[in-house]
Chains A and B, each alone.
Chain A
Amino acid sequence: AAGVIQSPRHLIKEKRETATLKCYPIPRHDTVYWYQQGPGQDPQFLISFYEKMQSDKGSIPDRFSAQQFSDYHSELNMSSLELGDSALYFCASSLVQGDINEQFFGPGTRLTVL
């Protein structure tokens, strides 16, 4: 079965640089979520999109922005990178059916900021 695809899997950037992370949800899923997981931390919700519109926003810095495109893939843009941005970034997708919302997570992008 198709899973959530994230690219790149690993990314190394310098401070103050910009990074773009991509997420391709499971076909026919209408919602995409972004989470950030620091070392030894639990995943923290950043932002979500439902049918290409932002549906919820968490603790996402102003330096970050995201969008969902017409083909439902999503991109997380991160500017003015800081050392503290080093983390695993997960994308998840779901198909909201009634009150069921099982989120399927991708393999993550490991971002290292030097």
Chain B
Amino acid sequence: SQKIEQNSEALNIQEGKTATLTCNYTNYSPAYLQWYRQDPGRGPVFLLLIRENEKEKRKERLKVTFDTTLKQSLFHITASQPADSATYLCALMNTGFQKLVFGTGTRLLVSP
């Protein structure tokens, strides 16, 4: 069955460091991979989308890589800030389908 796994344990880092979150998937061939941020009790907020034929995408302090051979995406936040503390969800989408299939999410805690 399809499975999308993210670090289940919270990631604790110090302000100013780079946070790296991992998303691994099995039994899936997504056309797109997206990263969302979710704060407690609120809806997910779109951050970045990367296509299957793209290796890397950047947006300000965010960087996403997508390795379809390893079936893995890495999400980096450089110069992290306490305001970056949240749960980060990766989500996959198939070609021809519109629904998002979410990973389990990783909680990031950035300490001042």
Which of A13-21, A50-58, A61-69, A70-78 touches B?
Answer: A50-58
**B42: chain A residues within 8 A (beta carbon):** 107-108
- The residue that A42 contacts in the complex, of B32, B46, B51, B102, with Cβ under 8 A, is B102
**B89: chain A residues within 8 A (beta carbon):** 42-43
Q: A90-B44, A103-B46 are in contact. Are A56 and B97 (CB under 8 A)?
A: yes
Instruction: Assess whether B41 is interfacial by the CB under 8 Å rule.
Output: yes
* Size bin of chain A's contact surface: 20 to 34
Question: A55 and B98: CB pair below 8 A?
Answer: yes
Assembled-state Cα–Cα distance A45/B51 (Å): 21
**B34: chain A residues within 8 A (beta carbon):** 102
* Size bin of chain B's contact surface: 20 to 34
Question: A104 and B46: CB pair below 8 A?
Answer: yes
Tell me how far the C-beta of B111 lies from the nearest C-beta in chain A, rounded to whole angstroms.
23
Question: B46 and A101: CB pair below 8 A?
Answer: no
Assembled-state Cα–Cα distance A65/B45 (Å): 26
Chain B interface main SS type: loop
**B93: chain A residues within 8 A (beta carbon):** 101
* A-B contacts, CB under 8 A, total: 56
**B31 nearest CB neighbor, chain A only:** A99
B-contact bits for A18-52, CB 8 A (1 contact / 0 none): 00000000000001010100000011110010100
Tell me how far the C-beta of A47 lies from the nearest C-beta in chain B, rounded to whole angstroms.
9
Segment 47-100 of B: residues with Cβ below 8 Å from A: 49, 51, 89, 93, 97-100
Question: B99 and A45: CB pair below 8 A?
Answer: yes
Assembled-state Cα–Cα distance A86/B83 (Å): 29
Instruction: Assess whether A1 is interfacial by the CB under 8 Å rule.
Output: no
Tell me how far the C-beta of B43 lies from the nearest C-beta in chain A, rounded to whole angstroms.
3
Tell me how far the C-beta of A61 lies from the nearest C-beta in chain B, rounded to whole angstroms.
17
Question: B100 and A103: CB pair below 8 A?
Answer: yes
Question: B51 and A107: CB pair below 8 A?
Answer: no
Question: B49 and A100: CB pair below 8 A?
Answer: yes
Q: Name A's B-contacting residues (CB within 8 A).
A: 4, 31, 33, 35, 42-45, 48, 50, 55-56, 58, 88, 90, 92, 94, 96, 99-108, 110
